[in-house]
Amino acid sequence: MRFFFHIVDKYGLSSDATGCEHPDQDAAILHARHIAAELAKAGEFFRAGVVFVARAAVPASSCSRDPGAT
């Protein structure tokens, strides 16, 4: 299934137009947690945001599984 990982903060929504393939919702949530942890490392500005996970109905190509990629 394809999931999209949008960033929501006090300035609004930063949409994920690409998304990533994950086998299930649990795997997508783990990926969202990784994104949030990487954003938190970026400083105070990003700590106020959240990662919103949205599932797409149509599957597509996979994203990078590289642990350093966000």
In which residue ranges of the chain is pLDDT below 50? 66-70
| pLDDT given for residue 68 in this prediction | 44
50 found inside a domain: yes
| φ, ψ for residue 8, nearest 5 deg | -120, 130
| pLDDT given for residue 62 in this prediction | 54
Total count of domains within the chain: 1
| pLDDT given for residue 67 in this prediction | 43
65 found inside a domain: no
Q: Which residue has the tokens 């998304």?
A: 19
| pLDDT given for residue 20 in this prediction | 93
Residue 47's domain comprises: 2-55
| pLDDT given for residue 6 in this prediction | 94
| pLDDT given for residue 59 in this prediction | 52
pTM: 0.71
61 found inside a domain: no
| pLDDT given for residue 40 in this prediction | 82
Q: Measured between alpha carbons, how far is 24 from 46 in angstroms, rounded to an integer?
A: 27
